[in-house]
Structure formats: C-alpha cells, structure tokens
Amino acid sequence: EIAAEEGFEGEDLDLEAGAHVPLPVLAVVGRPNVGKSTLVNRIIGRREAVVEDRPGVTRDRVQYEATWNGRRFKLVDTGGWEIDVLGIDAMVAAQAELGIETADAVLFVVDATVGATDTDEALVKLIRRAGKPVVLCANKVDGQSTEAEAAYLWSLGLGEPYPVSALHGRGSGDLLDAVMAALPEAPPQTFGIPTGGPRRVALIGRPNTGKSSLLNKVAGEERVVVNELAGTTRDPVDEIIELGGKTWKFVDTAGIRRRVHLTAGADFYASLRTSAALEKAEVAVVLIDCSEPLAEQDTRIISMAVDAGRAVVIAYNKWDQLDEERRYYLEREIEQDLVQVQWAPRVNVSAKTGRHMEKLVPAIETALAGWETRVTTAKLNAFLGELVAAHPHPIRGGKQPRILFGTQAGTKPPRFVLFASGFLEAGYRRFVERRLREEFGFVGTPISISVRVRE
Ligand code: GDP
Ligand code: GDP
C-alpha cells in the first residue's frame, strides 16, 4: 500500500520485525572485588568508570545492552550496593540468587589470584540449583605467568575456567564466545511459544500491594508449575492458571512467591523483576493498594508497562479496606496522577475477600483485544481525511503541516505511521491520538504514533 504512494521513498515500514523482541539476559555473578564491574565495562566497551573506588557505593546503572559478533544481549551486573545488616555472605548470595533467577545464562566471575573461597563455593551451589547455563571466568589473569592459577578453578565443577584479565582485556574474546554459546538466541520463555497457547499475564505492582495474595486467590488449589508440563516451556518460574474458563500463563510468579527481604538493592531488583516479567508478558495487571495514597512507585510501574508496549489492566486491590474518605481521595488521585492510562480497564478487587475477582478476566480480555486491534488502511485514511478537514493543524510560520496519509504498521501494541507535509506539534499529535482512541477503541493498550515528514 505504501509503495504505491509517490514520494515516500526509503521508508522502512517493517516495524513488526524486531519490535519488542526481548534480548537474552546474562547475569554477571561473583563476590565483591573479583572484577565484575571491570569486566562489564570491558564487555560493553565503555571506558567511563562505573567502577567505584569506595566499596559499598550504590551503583544505579546495573543493566546494560551489549553486542558480541553481531548478537545483542542484556548484561546485568549483580552486586554493587551496600553490604547491609545481613552480612556480606547473605547479601552476596541474595543478590546472586535474584540475578540468576532473572537471567538466561550466568557469567560467574572468580578472582583467580585468590582462588575459590567459601563464598564462591556457596555461589556455585546457587547457580547449580538454578540450572541455568554458566560460563566460568577466572579473572585477574593478567599474564601468562598466572594462567596456572586459573586451572585450579576446575575444582569448582563448572567446567572450563576462562582465564581473563578484565583490566587489560586479555582472554575476553574467548570468554565472550563461550558466553554467546551459552545464551539462547532469544529467551526461551518468549521464543517459539505456540500461537494459540495460553495468554501471558504479568502481575506487577510495588511490594505489599497484594500480588502474592491475588495469585493465591486465582490459582486456588489446582496450581500447576509449567515446568512439570511436558512440551511446554522449560521456565519454572511461570504458572499455568485456570481462570474464567480459560487457561492463562502468569509469568515470573516465582519472583512473587519467593520474597527476598533486602533493604539495599531491593528496589533495583523489584524493578528488574518487573521489567523481566513485562518482557515475557502480553498483558500487565498492575496492582495498586487503594487503601494507601498512590505512590510514585505505582506510577513508575505503570509507566514501565506502557513503555514496554504491553496491554494494561489496573487492579485496585484491598477494596475491602476502603472507607468513604479514602475513596474520595483515591478518585482524585486517579484523575490527577493516572491520566496517562485513562484508557486502561479498571477493576476494584479484594484479594482477601475475593471481591470482583470475576471481573479480572473480562478486563484482561478487553485489554488484549485492544492491544491486537488492526485498523485497515482504508478506514484509517477515511478517518484521517475527515479529521484533517475538520481540525487542521494550526498554521506555523506561514505554513500548515498536513497529515497526508497514514497506515498501521503493527499491532501488539497498535503502531501507526503518519506521513505529513511538515512537523506536527506534540499537542496536535496528542489530539490525533485522542481522536483515534475515540474512533477505534484501543481500550487497555498504549498506542504509538510516529510521524514521517515528506521531504
Ligand atoms: P566488583 O566488585 O566485582 O565489581 O569488582 P571491580 O570491578 O570493582 O574490581 C575490583 C578491583 O579489582 C578493582 O580495583 C579493579 O581495578 C581490580 N581488577 C578488576 N579486574 C582486574 C584484572 O583483570 N586484573 C587486575 N590486576 N585487577 C583487576
Ligand atoms: P505482595 O508483596 O504484592 O505480594 O503483597 P502480599 O500479597 O504479600 O500482601 C501484602 C499484605 O497485604 C498482606 O498482609 C496481605 O494479607 C494483605 N492483603 C493483600 N490483599 C489484600 C486485600 O485485598 N485486602 C486486605 N485487607 N489485605 C490484603
């Protein structure tokens, strides 16, 4: 359809391909000071110091995108914040455990000049238990003379230790080759899921909003761990749940059920988990504790779901605790702070009493339907033609930019490309989005509109 239009040359409209394909995740795990950050910097090819001289300094940027031999992956540097009251071993273990859980493969870093310590041994147990592919990096092998030290690490039972100097780069190519061999092409959770299989739901929300309570409520007794089902995905962290007469896959429920009480780093891992769950899911059910004032973290989590391009349902939980006064303020908060997701279906539930649980599935289905909506080019352009005629773009600098033509480039979520004769102001773009929603629905889904200016 596009090709037939004159004057739109060189536009790549193949937005469907590659959009929202999650990258495989590599967790870099190891004791403090073994050189994880140095290695991460080396892999992402950045000289700027992420490494802090002061031990225990919280690093906020711990997730990076990297490329090796043309393959992209995500790198998560576990550890790097304050050792808190838990004590160093518990802290390192907890961080590693969470990191491993959210990863597709593990890069285990050991300081070869120190050799394997008890903490290293403990980490090996964690990695083994998780059953994820692992590559062993014997770091700080700065020269030939220290290579023998790396060989001692065979004793860890994780296979070949790759001697590396993160500091100087020595051996990092071989290490990365091994890492790429260990990483799946794409995360197994999302790759090759049969179409027509259970729809994937992420239950997200800040701590204590009632995620695990809700999960228990909907899962009932007949909980089946996906891992136990032959022929389904290998990932043991999801759950298949029968709800409203249908089968759903709730992703990353292991993270909801297993609570890790960390002070330092907890926020980071909560958000890492949220983004991991979102990557795997089609629709996000965002839980909000309606008995408390809406928090910044609530809106941030909603934004994460929107930015990830997922269908969104907002569930106001603990409705049983709502009194008249709180209810008044809640409605105000929703009006003011959640305008960005006015389009999201809303359910007022109680995981405790079971109130309105039956409304969850219809809301999810509505959101998924909006997410998959496709508008034909003919319909879209009829609509755009009327819109432009009735509400032309304001004249700017003597010129009046016009929308010439539009097409829906993709679904899940709906993405539109508009071709225009000039730059369209943000206000006008918002107006177009609002009118698109009024015309075609798109309940429960973010939509994106990109504008290409015709040369
Ligand atoms: P992390 O706590 O595991 O992230 O470790 P860092 O990356 O912060 O490194 C700890 C210390 O080890 C820093 O002083 C680094 O410069 C040093 N280091 C890291 N890699 C190497 C290496 O390959 N050789 C040597 N000699 N020192 C290294
Ligand atoms: P999570 O951290 O999001 O998994 O939250 P939890 O499910 O652990 O719930 C946190 C607390 O809120 C627990 O004490 C729950 O019993 C309580 N809770 C959860 N849902 C409800 C609800 O609908 N009503 C009331 N009153 N309490 C709830």
Q: CB-based burial of residue 114 (10 Å sphere; 0-12 exposed, 13-18 middle, 19+ buried)? A: middle
For residues 269 and 262, give the distance between their C-alpha atoms in angstroms, rounded to a whole number. 9
> How would residue 359 be classed by pLDDT, with cut points 50, 70 and 90?
very high
Residue 309 has pLDDT above 50, yes or no: yes
**Residue 173 pLDDT exceeds 80:** yes
- The predicted-structure confidence for 124-155, as pLDDT tens digits, reads as follows 988 888 889 999 999 999 988 888 889 899 99
Backbone angles phi, psi at 202, to 5 degrees: -105, 130
Give me the pLDDT at residue 455, please: 56
Looking at per-residue pLDDT, the higher value among 367 and 120 belongs to: 367
- What was the pLDDT predicted at 30? 87
Between strands 63-68 and 346-348, the pairing is unpaired
Q: Is the CB of 210 under 6 A from ligand 2?
A: yes
Whether 166 shows a pLDDT value over 50: the answer reads yes
Q: What number is the average pLDDT over the span 347-356? A: 94
Confirm or reject: Cβ of 37 under 6 Å from ligand 1. yes
Does residue 59 carry a pLDDT above 60? Answer: no
Ligand 2 proximity of 255 Cβ (cutoff 6 Å)? no
Which pLDDT does position 130 carry in this prediction?
A: 83
Mean pLDDT within 105-132: 90
Predicted TM-score (pTM) of the model is 0.62
Distance of CA 248 to the CA centre of its chain: 19
Give the distance (Å) from ligand 1 centre to CA of residue 86: 24
CA of 256 to the centre of ligand 2 (A): 12
Summarised one tens digit per residue, pLDDT across range 295-307 is 999 999 999 999 9
What is the atom index within ligand 2 of the atom nearest the CA of 350?
A: 23
Nearest bound ligand to the CA of residue 253: 2
CA-proximal residue: ligand 2, atom 20 (nearest): 210
The angle subtended at Cα 379 by Cα 373 and Cα 385, nearest 5°, is 130
Average pLDDT, the chain: 81
Q: How far apart are CA 285 and CA 314, in angstroms?
A: 6
Question: pLDDT band at residue 186, thresholds of 50, 70 and 90?
Answer: low
Q: Pick the more confident residue, 373 or 51.
A: 373
211 CB near ligand 2 (under 6 Å)? yes
**26-40, 193-207, 275-289, 435-449: the lowest-pLDDT one:** 193-207
Greater pLDDT, 67 or 222 = 67
Cα separation, 47 vs 37, whole angstroms: 11
Both tokens of residue 215? 């999960």
Ligand closest to Cα of 289 equals 2
Ligand 1 contact, 30 CB (< 6 A): yes
The pLDDT, as a whole number, for residue 147 is: 85
Tens digits of per-residue pLDDT, 219-271? 874 444 433 444 444 445 788 888 888 899 999 887 777 655 555 566 667 78
Least confident of 103-117, 228-242, 373-387, 431-445: 228-242
Each residue of 329-348: pLDDT tens digit? 999 999 999 988 999 999 99
